[in-house]
Amino acid sequence: MRRVPAVLSIPMVVVALILLLSGGRASAAPGNGGQFNLYFGDLHAHTAFSDGWRGTPEDAYVMARDAGADYMATTDHNFMLTLDEWAETLRMAETQTDANFVAIPASEYWIASGFGEIIVFNQDNLYNETNFHDPGDPQSRVEAIEGFYDWLAAFPGAIGLWPHPGLYGDQDDFDHRTDWRDRAMSLIEIHNYGSWLGDPAHWGVHDYEPAYITALDKGWHIMPAATSDTHNNDWIVGSPVRTVLLARSLSRADLFDAMRSNRGYATLDENLRIRYSLNGELMGSTLIGSDGRYTAEIVIEDPDGVAGDAITLVEIVSDGGRVVASKPFGETTVNWKVTLRTPAARYFYVRVTTASDVSGGEGLTAWTAPVWTGR
């Protein structure tokens, strides 16, 4: 059954809870956040246009739509795509996008010499000097990584996502940040389902959170993503993990705005709903003029309402991965308001543990974007 997206109105936590439970729409309440809906989908998947097993991007979009996703991105490798295949990907995405579903054409770029990969959204230039340069003029590690960031940031509205950080290159441990490059890099995978398929005991249900924390500590403004990275023809139906984007409407432009604004969260439960604000500002925001006193308001709900989906622990994580507040629960709906007294903190994000994660036992299930304190 297709979800009706929940509406989040800022900063009224009671109103948000009512909307989450009802799935209804309402006028926006006062505040910087305005009115946002929750949209569930996948930002990393492959087709036969690169190294996927079979199927075209259009097949992926149709399967995802039929399975109830709000959006679906295909991210075939740029060095495997021909220009004709890329043109077809763009055409298929336009054809399959309507008022009820957004198809997103994107590509996973290989940084020269195996320094890592970056998924690029909202940028149609398939090749760049970092990927395709004169073999007789090799680039250093710093030149390759910095050059890619600068190339991406030069395109207004382009969006970068670090996939499976450290798996095929460490990106120099997220060094080389500048304000200019920070505008382009917006997301990082905190969970990659495809990297860990097999025996459930080997699923890495919190595999990339250390990379998320490292990037935040180095000043990047990013949100976490949970993706399938599927190379099979099982788009959306093959995994329960989702990246949830908080957007004003289900349009490609508004979803991209949510990504650039770091407005969203990663979940290993296909319909877990989260609303988190700090001093009335929604996840992804930066506070202005904060005095070191913070009030976090968190509403979490699993609409299935079954015991296996119960939220068992909610934590607030700050600089260096330090847990600054936590509270145990045992319900499928929680509503928590807490005051934080950590005046030197630069960011706070929410981490959620549930009674059953993708491995089948209790474990970490969701991570939100931070709210930055502006300090």
Lowest mean per-residue pLDDT among 105-114, 249-258, 274-283, 337-346: 105-114
Q: What is the pLDDT of residue 137?
A: 67
Q: What is the pLDDT of residue 253?
A: 98
Task: Kindly state whether residue 294 falls inside one of the protein's structural domains.
Answer: no
Q: Across the chain, what does the average pLDDT equal?
A: 86
pLDDT class for 22, splitting at 50, 70, 90?
very low
pLDDT class for 127, splitting at 50, 70, 90?
confident
Q: What distance in Å separates the CA atoms of residue 76 and residue 255, rounded to the nearest whole number? A: 20
pLDDT tens digits for range 79-99:
899 999 999 999 999 999 999
Domain range for 157:
7-271
Task: Kindly state whether residue 290 falls inside one of the protein's structural domains.
Answer: no
**What secondary structure, in 3-state letters, does 130-194 show?**
CCCCCCCCCCCHHHHHHHHHHHHHCCCCCEEEECCCCCCCCHHHHCCCCHHHHCCEEEEEEEEHH
Domain CATH for 159: 3.20.20.140
Mean pLDDT of 207-217: 95
Q: What distance in Å separates the CA atoms of residue 300 and residue 312, rounded to the nearest whole number? A: 11
Q: SS3 of 111, please? A: strand
Q: Is the pLDDT of residue 33 over 60?
A: no
Task: Please state the φ and ψ torsions of residue 59, each to the nearest 5 degrees.
Answer: -60, -40
Determine how many CB atoms are found less than 10 A away from the CB of residue 374. 12
Q: Is the pLDDT of residue 3 over 60?
A: no
Task: Kindly state whether residue 41 falls inside one of the protein's structural domains.
Answer: yes
**Helix, strand, coil distribution of the chain in percent, nearest 5:** 25, 35, 45
Percent of the chain with pLDDT over 90: 68
Task: Kindly state whether residue 347 falls inside one of the protein's structural domains.
Answer: no
Q: SS3 of 83, please? A: helix
pTM exceeds 0.85: yes
Task: Kindly state whether residue 181 falls inside one of the protein's structural domains.
Answer: yes
Q: What is the pLDDT of residue 38?
A: 98
Task: Kindly state whether residue 350 falls inside one of the protein's structural domains.
Answer: no
Task: Kindly state whether residue 204 falls inside one of the protein's structural domains.
Answer: yes
CA-based nearest residue to 356, from 240, 223, 245, 199? 240
Task: Kindly state whether residue 236 falls inside one of the protein's structural domains.
Answer: yes
pLDDT class for 136, splitting at 50, 70, 90?
low
Q: How many domains does the chain have?
A: 1
